[in-house]
């Protein structure tokens, strides 16, 4: 096994041992106990993702308010809010790791601009 593979394995273990990941998995477990809630949460996440990555840059504020309004009932539930917050925290951690790697290896991403 190469050093990079070994360190990748260590990093993966560090992530799965992190408080952020454990918190996310706890909320995920709670949500999974309620299939209807899980389905509604996934619908919200899917629509939110589509909105964020849509090429249509129309009235984002209105679209966001409409999305929030449509899913207001499930967003009030503590396990949903906890899940979404934990998911965001975990995603940010993984994004920071990825950005650190990209910056360190001088990977040119100017073509994306």
Q: Dump the DSSP string for 83-101.
A: HHHHHHHHHHHHHHHHHHH
Residue 112 has pLDDT above 90, yes or no: no
In the chain, where are the structural domains located? 3-106
CATH number of 3-106, picked from 3.30.70, 1.10.3470, 1.20.1500, 3.40.50: 1.20.1500
Tens digits of per-residue pLDDT, 12-28?
999 999 999 999 999 99
pTM to 2 decimal places: 0.82
* Residue 105 to residue 113: CA distance in whole angstroms: 19
Over the chain, what is the mean pLDDT?
91
pLDDT of 51 strictly over 70: yes
Q: Rounded to whole angstroms, how far apart are CA atoms 23 and 82?
A: 9
Q: At 61, is the secondary structure helix, strand, or coil?
A: helix
């Amino acid at each position: 096994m190469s050093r990079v593979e070994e360190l990748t394995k260590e990093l993966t273990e560090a992530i799965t041992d992190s408080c952020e990941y454990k918190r996310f998995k706890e909320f995920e477990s709670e949500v999974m106990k309620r299939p209807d809630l899980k389905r509604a949460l996934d619908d919200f996440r899917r629509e939110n993702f589509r909105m964020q990555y849509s090429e249509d840059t129309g009235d984002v504020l209105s679209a966001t308010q409409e999305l929030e309004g449509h899913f207001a009932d499930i967003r009030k539930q503590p396990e949903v809010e906890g899940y979404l917050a934990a998911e965001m925290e975990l995603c940010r951690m993984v994004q920071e790791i990825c950005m650190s790697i990209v910056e360190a290896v001088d990977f040119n991403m100017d073509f994306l601009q």
